[in-house]
Structure 1
Amino acid sequence: MKEQSGYVDLQVNGYAGVDFNSDGLTAERLHEACVALRRDGVESILATIITDDVDTMCDRLSAIVAGRLISENAKQTIAGVHIEGPFLNRNPGYIGAHPQSAARPADCGVMQQLLEAAGGLTKIVTLAPECDAGFKTTRWLSEQGIAVAAGHSNATLDELRGAIDAGLSMFTHLGNGCPAELPRHDNIVQRVLSLSDQIKISFIADGAHVPLFALKNYLDLAGIENCIVVSDAISAAGLGPGRYTLGGQTIEVGDDLIPWSADQTHFVGSATTMRRMEENLLSIGLSREETDFLLRVGPETLLDIN
């Protein structure tokens, strides 16, 4: 693994009051977010664009590309982009904070549009394998050297295995993007954990998305070497309680720093910094070496397991 002096975060939707999924994102605002990330110890990120209508997603990807060209700080901090959606399971619970109306079946033509808008910066695409007929989009992306992650998914074990055969290399924030109540044994969490020797698994270590005792269980079972910690940060990260946005959504962040949808039905990303996540990992008994590994996995590592 490449040595890193700071944190590497493969899923950042925004930071310090800047929403990467807002319309009209400027280079100045992108620069401000990257300055704040650096201040908080983050060396490298994947700027994450979530589900919306395709033209809107393309505009937001293009804004990241343009801002990165103008700001040297943004260029140094943003190693690439993570496209999360729109090929996600639209059923309640699984869709999470993504706009249900914009979720759609996977399509290589639509994916090509998104990749072109991202200007060659795409490192990870998150999709639901059950929404990718014949795993065509997964295979096509993998052949181009892009890491494909499952997420917001209720794929069966056979569907996950089929996707892995087609090039799937990761699962995005396991334990989230799924209903609060699941079947006792045969559920997406257990299916993915059973395949942890074949894919990388990312977790949000804020203590809210996955309780820390459960996170420790998952890490023990999957093995640290197969896991990654991401922040899934939104514009509230690095700030405090208040009202924020993700795309067109209004988000309420209370004193506990947990971002909730306006109707209080689900989390919307995280407001927790990577420094705080480091403290959380150490608090559950992980060694410094294990913690450093989880917080400093570069995107190039994902491609090694294809």
Structure 2
Amino acid sequence: MPLHARHYATGEPLEVAVADGRIAALGRSSESPTAWVAPAFFDPQINGCLGVGFNSPTLTADGVRVVAAECRRHGIGGFLPTLITASFDSLRHGFATLAAARDADAELARAIPGYHLEGPYLSGEDGPRGAHPREHARDPDWDEFRRLQDAAAGRVLMVTVAPERTGAVRFIEQLAAAGVVVAIGHTAATTEQLRAAVDAGARTSTHLGNGAHAVLPRHPNYLWDQLADDRLWMSVIPDGHHLPAAVVKCLVRAKGVSRTLVTCDASSLAGMPPGRYHEWGTELDVLPSGKVVLAGTPYLAGSGHFTDRCVGRLIRDAGVTLAESVEMASVRPRELLGLPVPRLEVGAAAELVVFDWEPGGEVRVREVL
């Protein structure tokens, strides 16, 4: 049965026929569809959801499938499972479990082209460290990374690094030479350290504006420096909790829509009902709004939402178009990672999201093809 929906960029009513996983025919619809169709979202930073965390020592293949299915329900056709700062054994277990699950399941293999290692080579300072455990934050170690990459069957595609860590510049050079995308994040780096990291091959910033000190020098500081370097892309979390609307607007206007990625940074508590949970060795609250905080405080402790919410919020907060927001959540991440980008054209892979949206409203996903 053909799909009838509006083109996300032009608003044109389309009739889309899909066969064998590809767009077989594409023409103007004779109907008046209200739904929209676009390339499926791709999120470069998913830590888990529904109580399943990729860092968990009890992670199983079934848990990986639970996360992938929930992501798909929110329009995410592909993503990078993300492991954060932890012991070597914990990280190795996570990557080995992901690799085995992916190898045994063709659908998972399509949804998960690789993984993101966010840490452990990050700042140990309060503020930039964020929710990453201080005891496991450490200096880069190429041999350790190679062993983790072996456990991941060579599919660690992105690594977030704090450039001020001892040995970070050489480590970034080695990652870049190996074809791994290097992101700067959870950092307190100086102007000179940031410039050296980008010179060495760093290409993007991880959730810029978060994982930072509560109080910074007026100037210079590491936010201005990353925004000003045109060689760097950035990801942002426009979920309505991580950044005020004015900050989202300023970040996107400074970096530009062609170098901005959307991530929801979903945590293991994303999608969970309101309540108190024990996670990462501490007590966390999921509020009725979906915001995740340290129990009894206003302080963020991970993300409770998914990419579809971020796409709708970004339109309102940054003043961008539907097409620009969708492409920051679908096309840009794939471009940065060197992955195939789905297109609305005959012969292209039918990796599409169908959703409802009205100006000023939320994106409500119907299905992912």
- Settle same-fold status: TM greater than 0.5: yes
Structure 1 window deviating more from structure 2 (157-166 vs 129-138): it is 129-138
| Aligned equivalents of 2:216, 2:238: Cα separation in 1 | 21
- 1:10 matched to 2:44? The reply is yes
Structure 1 residues 245 and 44: alpha-carbon distance in aligned structure 2, compared to 1, 3 A threshold: farther
Q: CA deviation at 1:222?
A: 1.2
* Residue 271 (structure 1) aligned to one of 299, 304, 315: 304
| Aligned equivalents of 2:278, 2:145: Cα separation in 1 | 25
Paired residues of 1:107 and 1:132 also in contact (CA < 8 A): no
- 1:148 matched to 2:182? The reply is yes
Quote the sequence identity (%). Answer: 35
| Aligned equivalents of 1:175, 1:162: Cα separation in 2 | 20
Structure 2: gaps of 5 or more residues = 1-36, 339-369
Paired residues of 2:140 and 2:168 also in contact (CA < 8 A): no
* Residue 287 (structure 1) aligned to one of 318, 321, 329: 321
Paired residues of 1:96 and 1:266 also in contact (CA < 8 A): no
Paired residues of 1:22 and 1:248 also in contact (CA < 8 A): no
Report what 2:252 is aligned to: 219
Name segments (4+ residues, structure 1) moved above 3 Å: 243-250, 262-266, 297-300
Report what 1:164 is aligned to: 198
Secondary structure of residue in 2 paired with 1:46: strand
More helix by share: 1
- 1:120-156, CA deviations, whole angstroms, 9 ceiling, x for partnerless residues? 1111000101114261110001001000011000111
| Aligned equivalents of 1:241, 1:45: Cα separation in 2 | 25
Report what 1:204 is aligned to: 237
Secondary structure of residue in 2 paired with 1:8: strand
1:1-306 matched pairs, under 5 angstroms: 5-133=39-167, 135-195=169-229, 197-244=230-277, 247-262=280-295, 264=297, 266-284=299-317, 285-297=319-331, 299-302=333-336
Secondary structure of residue in 2 paired with 1:252: strand
Q: CA deviation at 1:238?
A: 3.0
Structure 1 window deviating more from structure 2 (175-184 vs 232-241): it is 232-241
Secondary structure of residue in 2 paired with 1:63: helix
Q: CA deviation at 1:71?
A: 3.1
| Aligned equivalents of 1:96, 1:15: Cα separation in 2 | 19
Secondary structure of residue in 1 paired with 2:113: strand
TM-score, normalised via structure 2 length? 0.77
Amino acid aligned to 2:252: L
| Aligned equivalents of 1:53, 1:29: Cα separation in 2 | 21
Structural RMSD (CA): 1.9
Structure 1 residues 202 and 107: alpha-carbon distance in aligned structure 2, compared to 1, 3 A threshold: same
How many residues in Structure 1 have an aligned counterpart in Structure 2? 301
| Aligned equivalents of 2:324, 2:278: Cα separation in 1 | 33
| Aligned equivalents of 1:303, 1:24: Cα separation in 2 | 29
Secondary structure of residue in 1 paired with 2:121: coil
Paired residues of 1:108 and 1:136 also in contact (CA < 8 A): no
Q: CA deviation at 1:247?
A: 4.5
Amino acid aligned to 2:242: H
| Aligned equivalents of 2:333, 2:309: Cα separation in 1 | 22
Structure 1 residues 58 and 262: alpha-carbon distance in aligned structure 2, compared to 1, 3 A threshold: farther
